[in-house]
Structure 1
């Protein structure tokens, strides 16, 4: 089994890794760190929570030149929260360097004071740049940020960068860099629409797709719960208060729904943090700091947080329905069960979401069906058994289908016999009608023959 000590890294890096209890590299780290140290460009496809951040940070810090005062590496990421997360990880690695060799690391994201950033750049350029594509591009095109000196470009969460429309900004950044640019692309998925960009900038890269035995980490208990006539607001509240989660994340599909659910949960007495794109950047940053300090036990968020926030200690995930973009399901659930710790992910669905649940299962996700009753989750039945059983039943006449559907959920004993008798009576009636029509047709034929 590989160890970080196999890579002959700087003593400062080993000291920093020891401080955060990193002893053995993850699969993606063990496969790609040695390759990146050799100067190769890479495409790393690996599921969320697999250790991609340190896969590119460790080589960047190993190859960092303290005597070079220019920009050496640029790291782009599609969300402010993820940029902040990478920035904190980079600062931690830099903390063990001596004062005179410590790299200058700067964070550039939307929502920060641009004029202040420009003023700082006029005094001195950073050596490692981390930020969102739009802000980095703006600072470069304004002639303030000298990214053309960088020899390494990291495109983190490339699929999300594509989905959110930031790829043209990344393209502009990459085109400003040297031809011998080393590009490190990391993503949970590599969609077809990303291929032209990769071919444009990557020449014979090392491509590593890190397979996982299961789509959902084995440390996560993945539960499916139907509403069964109960409102989602009530069910979410019951599931949150059923136990005492260390930190619970509730994901919604829209900002509007996040606001509604947060308001509902607060009205029931829960202290809830709200994170989504409709929250002003400064307030969002302040809320994130409060979450990190464990001032909140419950967080309601949109998919903005699913790929951009890595909060240690998330023990419970609740999906307030199936996400619009199905792949976000993996990223939501991946917020728990990290670093070998156990976690629980509960997905709530309405009866009209059966098809979307099936689509998630087609991705390789396995659910444990359960129901909420009497203040606890209880084993449920496979919702597919009804669909599988109906395949073997006889096809009913539309009239009879209507008769069956009229039966209420709770029926009196003997209802099956009643339906069977109704079917028999219906068949007998149809037989009599057919016989009468045959008789009438025979009489008409006889009369026509007589008239001739």
Structure 2
């Protein structure tokens, strides 16, 4: 069966290589993004992780690449080492397939310049030959440009991947420095899950009448993912997570925590219980992190304890289960976390632990259109639990009755001190203000993900 990429008028060797990597039908993002890139337009593509946007620029780059030209033709920046490794793998995999049908591409050099790698070895290689395709983190690429090791004066493409993440991590000045070293007539492509307002000055500075393509998500969470909600109450979270991991249903589980310190604590606890696991967080040295990622991809670990460093754009094959120890402070990260499982139509499970003080956050997530199934641990099994919202469905006999405020009133009724009425009024005012803010945030998130 032929693939459907022929509609883009790609070269015959590119179409054969697409067959080789097993692609049959373009994703929604590829349908929208590939044509303007092939037309030579600058482009800003707003598309979420997992939409297929990598090949929306990979295919046009290879389609335009001159295998006989011994100079840098494309530069791609990535905000993290793991994402750069992922991009490098995608480009290298495609090159291997392309070389099978067109031997001229066998000698194409695809470099991956990231922090934590052997800088001196890379410098020595650059002194011998310049790569045709450069992938890397902004800091290392900027370093090589500043010292004239890397020459980009003839490049045709500059791709900024995950631009909003580069902004969040403070790498935009480095990306700016790279862009300023590029030729004026190159084609610039910027891809991002969102386009923050602070990114606009950079886009206006370097892009020439860009095409703006926003690829809406059909569903905020893959429909193949079952979202379970588990109340921890006063239970020890270490023990709860250990029990969840040892139920024995998962092939590969990522446990997400909110801080680096907590990742270390939980990882050590699980190791003490005999569960071999990998830690993925900002405190792990770059070389160690790359070694861990290779081991993870080789199937050496069944359990991963990670901070949100791993939730954004990191493609780990075969994740069957995600556990959120806490609800992240930025709810967008909840979407990124859960998006690690249920990829490519496969089933997945996402279990979110929550405490009594996180009811509002759960409401906000549900406001995004995510439906939770309440669960509880019983006899070392995950079984159905009562709906946390069941009280909301009871008949309320008094208008605007609020159980939380009713409890405050009942508490104050007996043995009251002077001024208790004023205290109740202030509590009502504070509660109303808080509910209004939650409503506004929920409405904003619903609008964002429409």
Q: TM-score range by the shorter chain?
A: 0.7 to 0.9
The residue that corresponds to 1:379 in the other structure is 384
- One of 113, 117, 123 as aligned partner of 1:112: 117
TM-score, L = length of structure 2:
0.84
User: Which runs of structure 2 are paired with 1:303-342 in the superposition (5 Å)?
Assistant: 303-342=308-347
Q: Does 1:401 align with 2:399?
A: no
- One of 101, 105, 122 as aligned partner of 1:101: 105
In the alignment of these two chains, the number of paired residues is 404
Shift of 1:396: 4.9
Q: Which moved more, 1:148-157 or 1:15-24?
A: 15-24
Q: Does 1:264 align with 2:265?
A: no
Whether the 8 Å CA contact 1:49–1:335 is kept in 2: the answer is no
Q: How far apart in 1 are the matches of 2:271 and 2:367?
A: 36
Q: How far apart in 1 are the matches of 2:329 and 2:410?
A: 37
The residue that corresponds to 1:280 in the other structure is 285
Superimposed CA distance per residue, residues 336-384 of structure 1 (whole angstroms, 9 cap, x where no aligned partner)? 1111111111111122222333333344433223222222222334434
The residue that corresponds to 1:4 in the other structure is 5
Whether the 8 Å CA contact 2:47–2:192 is kept in 1: the answer is yes
Whether the 8 Å CA contact 1:70–1:125 is kept in 2: the answer is yes
Superimposed CA distance per residue, residues 373-417 of structure 1 (whole angstroms, 9 cap, x where no aligned partner)? 22222233443444686842686595632579xxxxxxxxxxxxx
Q: How far apart in 2 are the matches of 1:166 and 1:25?
A: 31
Superimposed CA distance per residue, residues 84-126 of structure 1 (whole angstroms, 9 cap, x where no aligned partner)? 0100110011113245433210000000111211111111111
Of the two, which has the highest radius of gyration?
1
Q: Does 1:392 align with 2:389?
A: no
TM-score, L = length of structure 1:
0.84
Q: How far apart in 1 are the matches of 2:179 and 2:306?
A: 32
Indicate the RMSD between aligned Cα atoms, in angstroms: 2.2
Q: Which moved more, 1:96-105 or 1:271-280?
A: 96-105
The residue that corresponds to 1:44 in the other structure is 45
Shift of 1:322: 1.2
Q: How far apart in 2 are the matches of 1:211 and 1:10?
A: 29
Q: How far apart in 1 are the matches of 2:386 and 2:73?
A: 57
Helix, strand or coil at the partner of 1:147: coil
Q: Does 1:86 align with 2:91?
A: no
The residue that corresponds to 2:226 in the other structure is 221
The residue that corresponds to 1:426 in the other structure is none
Q: How far apart in 2 are the matches of 1:6 and 1:267?
A: 56
Whether the 8 Å CA contact 1:80–1:308 is kept in 2: the answer is no
Whether the 8 Å CA contact 2:95–2:105 is kept in 1: the answer is no
Q: 1:36 to 1:234 in 2, by over 3 A?
A: same
The residue that corresponds to 1:441 in the other structure is none
Q: Does 1:161 align with 2:166?
A: yes
The residue that corresponds to 1:128 in the other structure is 133
Q: Does 1:206 align with 2:246?
A: no
Q: How far apart in 2 are the matches of 1:398 and 1:46?
A: 46
Q: Does 1:196 align with 2:197?
A: no
Helix, strand or coil at the partner of 2:345: coil
Q: How far apart in 1 are the matches of 2:58 and 2:407?
A: 66
Helix, strand or coil at the partner of 1:148: coil
Q: How far apart in 1 are the matches of 2:402 and 2:275?
A: 48
The residue that corresponds to 1:147 in the other structure is 152
Helix, strand or coil at the partner of 1:179: coil
The residue that corresponds to 2:429 in the other structure is none
Helix, strand or coil at the partner of 2:344: coil
Unpaired segments ≥5 residues, structure 1: 405-452
Q: 1:322 to 1:15 in 2, by over 3 A?
A: same
- One of 353, 360, 369 as aligned partner of 1:348: 353
Q: How far apart in 2 are the matches of 1:63 and 1:280?
A: 37
Q: How far apart in 1 are the matches of 2:38 and 2:155?
A: 16
Whether the 8 Å CA contact 1:155–1:184 is kept in 2: the answer is yes
Shift of 1:179: 1.8
Shift of 1:29: 0.6
